[in-house]
A and B are shown apart, each in its own frame.
Chain A
Amino acid sequence: MKKLFTSREALLCMLILAMLLSVGSVAKDFLSLSNLLSAYNDTSILIILALGQMLVIITRCIDLSVAANLALTGMIVAMINSSFPDFPVSLLVLFGMLLGLSMGMINGLLVWKLQIPAIVVTLGTMSIYRGIIFLLSEGAWVNAHEMSQTFMHIPRSLHLGVALLSWLSIIVVVIFYYFCRSSRTGREIYAAGNSPTAAFYTGIDVGRSQFIAFSISGLLAGLCGYLWVSRYAVAYVDVAAGFELQVISACVIGGISIMGGRGTVVGCVLGALFIGVINNALPVIGVSPFWQMAISGSVIVLAVIASSKAEKKSGRIILKSAAIVPSR
């Protein structure tokens, strides 16, 4: 019982509930089922991207290019749809995912084979991907009336009263839950981030794990590229500008350690939901836009303080000078 209340996930859960209730007491409609569903739907893209980012952070890397990847695949998918409205949307989504995957693989390969720090690689590819959008579109926008009805309708379609976009995020969460807990690759990713040296000696290729994490992050960014463009019915160069920071914030708030090796799917989802609740609640209760930024920022700092405390407690040093990290 004590463990339940001290665990980070439980704390976050209570924090989110407390926030929901306090907002609900000010704006009564906020706690209605339809509103909560719409807030969840609004957070779905963030959840999907945060899960991809989680894997990358667990391997002691960071992916700053997710939003640019999303924007580029979104633009390409939208341009194809507007030029060839009859091209099946399902194939288009698949194509977008492959496109995102290949962009993630580029990040992964640079980190794995050339051993460039991930922050530098993705800082570079972030600008490259954004630049390519401009080259492709020449600054022009793809607008609602240029997209086909099916293209726009799919994420909005309701199944059991819940939008497909929400269902997709739930499916991704379930897959991730099992992937991280039970799959060999998932466990290797944790091991590679927790202690690269130990992982190396047990026969895990740390670089390969990082490559896989980047690839998955890219794949999900590609999927979200379509979802985003379809949801907001517009594609332009600055789509999702700065969104990578929200994604990383969601991970940090959710207790994914920026030192790698730690973090759970549940925590990550709660972190994303936390940001989602803030995003959806603050406009409703009419908080000034300047305060909105300050509030989100403070929460992130608090979350980092909390996790740094958690990290201090753990671990005993057995051998002070461990073997030199082989690959990075």
Chain B
Amino acid sequence: MTFKKVLATTAVALAMMSSTVSADEIKIGLVVKALGIGFFEAANEGAQEAAKELGNVKVIYTGPTSTTAEGQIEVISALIAQKVDAIAVSANDTDALVPILKKAQQRGIKVISWDSGVSAAGRKMHLNPSSNQLIGEMNIKLAADALKAASIASGDVAILSATPTSTNQNIWIDEMKKVLPNYSNLNLVATVYGDDLADKSYRETLALLKTYPNLKAIIAPTTVGILAAAQAVKDQGQIGKVFVTGLGLPSELAGHVDSGAVHSFAIWNPIDLGYAATMISYNLVKGNSSDSEIGMGRLGAATLDDNGEAAMSEPFIYNASNVHKFADIF
């Protein structure tokens, strides 16, 4: 632990020394769950992009060496000592960081959480990568896009979920059903459950392919499900006839995008997330925000709900053009 402490402190100290601090430069501490994780490295890329765009902003990218709350407390203490203007943190623990973040706020530092939030007492606002409604809409849109790309006018779609009791899956499915009437060419025929098990998801997909000959798209908003469905479609020789889409990670789906079983899929874009967190931090420091809205630069404005939470954007679409670039990241 002490070794990690030394490492973390040195990281911050080095970051301090390497900069020639001008008097009115705005310093934003971007605290991640742990250093060396591709997803967060990508977020840093976005944060640096925002800093460049804003000018006169310095983003200090830091975090502990392993995903612990204690490690983050050390790092945040160091940032407070450095007198940063804002801290944007993706927290390892909802509550453990609250005392140190309160201390930061008392010193006039603007604190936000992003990706993984902290309790309302510890931050000004929390930035979610997306919202349930946007995720639901995106899933249906992806199915429609896949059909359009293959010049299929209309057809049946099915949803392959995780377990029947999975809360977020069910919310997303409800949101999908709400927007479905806007897509008259998509006919939802079934919702099946693969329990986030590869074998059951695969089997359910085979049953869908057999039962619904007019099936054109399978929406799987779960990483295990989307992989199993893509493999089943491939094994059944249905590539080009049935498209699998939903939520997944680029590193896991790159192969299926190449094979054509998946036309496109979605998940948050970590670069945008780092960019938005930096923009929001900057605007809070500058006082460019109201209680209900904060600007996020090229991404528009974030609207805060009663709990001080906001959704960044709809999930980002990955397809053959960008999946390999992101596959190296996460």
Binding site for B on A (CB under 8 A): 27, 29-30, 35, 38, 42, 141, 143-146, 156, 228, 231-234, 236, 238-243, 279-280, 283-284, 286, 289-290
Q: Is B159 an interface residue (CB 8 A)?
A: no
In the assembled complex, the Cα of A35 lies from the Cα of B209 at a distance in Å of 12
In the assembled complex, the Cα of A29 lies from the Cα of B211 at a distance in Å of 9
Contact present for B203 and A283 (CB under 8 Å):
yes
What total count of A-B pairs have CB within 8 Å?
75
Q: Is B45 an interface residue (CB 8 A)?
A: no
In the assembled complex, the Cα of A320 lies from the Cα of B211 at a distance in Å of 59
In the assembled complex, the Cα of A240 lies from the Cα of B204 at a distance in Å of 16
- Residues of chain B with a CB closer than 8 A to A141's CB: 251-252
Given A146-B255, A232-B199, A289-B164 in contact, is the A38-B228 Cβ separation under 8 Å?
Answer: no
Binding site for A on B (CB under 8 A): 164, 190, 192-193, 195-200, 202-204, 206-208, 210-211, 224, 227-228, 230-231, 235, 251-256, 258-259
Contact present for A283 and B192 (CB under 8 Å):
yes
Given A143-B227, A280-B203, A290-B164 in contact, is the A232-B198 Cβ separation under 8 Å?
Answer: yes
- Residues of chain A with a CB closer than 8 A to B202's CB: 231-232
With A236-B224, A283-B204 given, can you name 16 additional A-B contacts, CB distance below 8 Å?
A27-B210, A143-B227, A143-B254, A144-B230, A144-B231, A145-B258, A146-B255, A228-B199, A231-B202, A232-B199, A242-B197, A280-B206, A284-B207, A284-B210, A286-B190, A289-B193
Contact present for A143 and B251 (CB under 8 Å):
yes
The listed residue (A30, A156, A286, A289) touching B235 by CB distance below 8 A is: A156
Contact present for B207 and A280 (CB under 8 Å):
yes
Closest to A145 in B: B255
In the assembled complex, the Cα of A24 lies from the Cα of B119 at a distance in Å of 55
Contact present for A144 and B255 (CB under 8 Å):
yes
Rank and list the top 5 A-B pairs by shortest CB-CB distance, nearest first: A145-B255, A283-B207, A144-B255, A232-B198, A289-B193
- Residues of chain B with a CB closer than 8 A to A232's CB: 198-199, 202, 227-228, 231
Contact present for B211 and A27 (CB under 8 Å):
yes
The listed residue (A27, A143, A156, A279) touching B255 by CB distance below 8 A is: A143
Given A144-B255, A233-B227 in contact, is the A286-B211 Cβ separation under 8 Å?
Answer: yes
Q: Would you list 17 pairs from A and B whose C-beta atoms are within 8 A, ordered by A residue?
A: A30-B210, A42-B206, A143-B252, A143-B254, A144-B259, A146-B255, A156-B235, A232-B198, A232-B227, A234-B224, A234-B231, A236-B224, A243-B199, A279-B200, A280-B207, A283-B192, A283-B207
